[in-house]
Amino acid sequence: MEQSLNAVAAVQNFIHQPHHHYIQGQWVPSQSGLAMEDIDPSTRTVLTHVARGNGDDINRAVEAARQAFREKSWRQMTPQARGVLMWKLADLMAEHLEELAQIDSLDMGMPLRQAQYGTVPMAIDHMRYMAGWATKIEGETIPVSAGPFFNYTVRQPVGVVGAIIPWNFPLLMAVWKLGAALAAGCTVVLKPAEQSPLSVLRLASLVTEAGFPPGVINIVTGYGPEAGAALVAHPDVNKIAFTGSTEVGKSIMRTAADRMARVSLELGGKSPNIICADANLKRAISGSMLGIFMNQGEVCSAGSRIYVAREIYDEALEQMAAYAQNMRVGMALDPKTQMGPVVSAEQYERVLGYIAKGRQEGAKVVAGGGEMSRAGAGFFIEPTVFAQVTDSMTIAREEIFGPVAAVMPFDSIDEVIERANVSAYGLAAGVWTENVRTAHYLAHSLEAGTVWVNAYHVYDAAAPWGGFKQSGFGREMGHHALELYTETKDVWISLQ
Ligand code: ADP
Ligand code: MG
């Protein structure tokens, strides 16, 4: 409680400061002198202004990161000392948890409760988990038959990492990239999303306080096509770690191809969530509603295609509609809020456009279906459930990234597998059944990087995360993430 009251003052103070780039451990204004507006989506008012970076700022930040990568203070820091620094940063994040939670909540509209008890604690856990890996990135000795040789591998940091993150989980996405990169010994230039850059800037002061050598972590704020594109195109960036839309992911991959920069991409989704006839319906309904409405549906892994066995379809639909109608939509900072506003005017129009399209193409709204001005002046959209959806409708195919569920009946397990796998995406899937064979059969058959059985939206720093197909490639979290930030070097020592 005390942390929370102090946090309100600290957050206000922080928000109204000038917000510059964080380069070489210093706050550096944009070379252009330009700034961009940062909006509070709960009120549609300007929260503050943030530096609008361009190629010049990116050049400075990449130079700082390259220099830090060469410096002995980082290069020769022991893995243990690196792990201790990361753990220190995690401790500072825990000390400022309330503040970080309020900042993300204000900046992009996630319910405060979710930030306090979900995403910010997850970011802290993640940093600690990765701190432990710093001392455990091992090579192998290989029994070669080519002659009398001692052959071994070492895993070395890939170099300067350009990290570009989306607005839906600002702090968490930053830490997913930073954690593995730092554990591996890389240096980083991070570009947060223009809609929600503040928690990452707050994190930067904690980076200084933790005692990281200057230049190991740099942050440039700005727009995607400006600062983001400059980072992707920079010849001295060895690896791009991107989370965002599939469209931008493809363009990043094209640009990176020219210099063979390493790329990992965590992109869009249209995840199927399958409720079988034998499911525990109560659990399945609340889990599936969390699956689509958590974070206003602004989650790449949102369970937006809900397939329900025909024999329980009507009953399930009725319960889903009731659930959606009872959700408390409101100001993100209100502790009672279950769903906040969507992030921006653009997103608001996009989601409402999809809802209109759903109606137009013949789907039927059974809950929500519109904007929600009574929740406040912000970008509020009702939790919306569509029935009478067919697989070919736009709302069943395209990622909406908003609180809109498409509910469809199915008749057999093999049929639903085929329909689920039709999607170009393959990020996550949910399965609800009490039958162990059905559970494993579906888990095995679905084309998705993660399958949840009798659960949805559970994540752990130790469990790998990433997509099949157009949801991208590379696995963040778990030891798998370290692959993305290291190169394997093989060494031959002649024994003769
Ligand atoms: P969304 O549509 O959800 O905002 P984007 O893929 O556009 O998703 O944005 C994700 C991140 O990618 C943001 O930080 C954004 O600024 C950045 N970005 C957008 N366009 C580009 C681009 N052309 N090059 C590099 N980064 C970009
Ligand atoms: Mg904002």
Given a contact cutoff of 8 angstroms between Cβ atoms, the answer to whether 287 and 455 are in contact is yes
Ligand 1, CB cutoff 6 Å, lining residues: 164-166, 191, 193-194, 223-225, 228-229, 232, 244-245, 248, 251
What are the structural domains, with CATH classification, of the chain? 2-267+471-491 (3.40.605.10), 272-461 (3.40.309.10)
User: Ligand 1 test: best mutation among 36, 50, 58, 245, most atoms within 8 Å of CB?
Assistant: 245
Residue 6's pLDDT is what? 76
Residue closest via CA to ligand 1's atom 14 equals 193
Q: Residue 96: phi, psi to the nearest 5?
A: -110, 25
Site of tokens 């995690």: 90
Of ligand 1's listed atoms, the one at least distance from the Cα of 232 is: 25
Q: What is the mean pLDDT of residues 296-323?
A: 98
Using left for φ > 0, alpha for ψ between -120 and 50, and beta otherwise, residue 454 falls in: left
Residue 151 CA to chain centroid, in angstroms? 39
Ligand positioned closest to the Cα atom of 190: 1
Q: DSSP alpha helices (H): ranges in 71-197?
A: 72-75, 79-95, 97-108, 112-114, 120-133, 170-184
Across the chain, what does the average pLDDT equal? 97
Is a pLDDT exceeding 70 seen at residue 328? yes
Residue 207's pLDDT is what? 98
pLDDT tens-digit profile of 119-173? 999 999 999 999 999 999 999 999 999 999 999 999 999 999 999 999 999 999 9
Given a contact cutoff of 8 angstroms between Cβ atoms, the answer to whether 325 and 316 are in contact is no
What is the C-alpha separation between 256 and 454, in angstroms, rounded? 39
Calculated CA dihedral for residues 67, 69, 71, 76, nearest 10 degrees = 180
Torsion sign (Cα): 280, 282, 288, 290: negative
pLDDT tens-digit profile of 1-38? 556 667 889 999 999 999 999 999 999 999 999 999 99
Residues classed as catalytic: 266, 300
Residue closest via CA to ligand 1's atom 24 equals 229
**Position 100: which residue type?**
L
**What residues are paired with 493 via a beta bridge?**
150
**What residues are paired with 371 via a beta bridge?**
381
Residue 3's pLDDT is what? 62
Is a pLDDT exceeding 80 seen at residue 201? yes
pLDDT tens-digit profile of 68-79? 999 999 999 999
What is the C-alpha separation between 179 and 168, in angstroms, rounded? 18
> Model confidence at 275, in pLDDT bands (50, 70, 90)?
very high
Q: DSSP alpha helices (H): ranges in 96-169?
A: 97-108, 112-114, 120-133
Is a pLDDT exceeding 80 seen at residue 189? yes
**Position 415: which residue type?**
E
**Residue 252, Cβ neighbours under 10 Å: how many?**
24
Residue closest via CA to ligand 1's atom 20 equals 224
Per-residue exposure over 64-80, b if at least 16 CB sit within 10 Å of its own CB, e if not: bbbbbbebeebeebeee
**Residue 128, Cβ neighbours under 10 Å: how many?**
19
Q: What is the mean pLDDT of residues 100-107?
A: 98
Residue 187's pLDDT is what? 99
Per-residue exposure over 16-49, b if at least 16 CB sit within 10 Å of its own CB, e if not: eeebbbbbbbebbebeeeebbebbbbbbeeebbe
Q: What is the mean pLDDT of residues 450-468?
A: 98
What is the C-alpha separation between 133 and 478, in angstroms, rounded? 9
Q: How many angstroms does the Cα of residue 56 sit away from the middle of ligand 2?
A: 24
Q: What is the mean pLDDT of residues 395-412?
A: 98
Q: How many angstroms does the Cα of residue 419 sit away from the middle of ligand 1?
A: 30
Ligand positioned closest to the Cα atom of 221: 1
**187-191: strand order across its sheet:** 26-28, 21-23, 217-219, 187-191, 160-164, 239-243, 262-266, 472-473
> Model confidence at 339, in pLDDT bands (50, 70, 90)?
very high
Q: What is the mean pLDDT of residues 48-70?
A: 98
Residue 373's pLDDT is what? 82
Residue closest via CA to ligand 1's atom 13 equals 193
Calculated CA dihedral for residues 141, 144, 148, 150, nearest 10 degrees = -20
* CA-closest candidate to residue 266, choices 247, 241, 229: 241
Given a contact cutoff of 8 angstroms between Cβ atoms, the answer to whether 180 and 485 are in contact is yes
Q: Residue 304: phi, psi to the nearest 5?
A: -90, -15
Here the tokens at position 19 are 């917000």
**Position 425: which residue type?**
Y
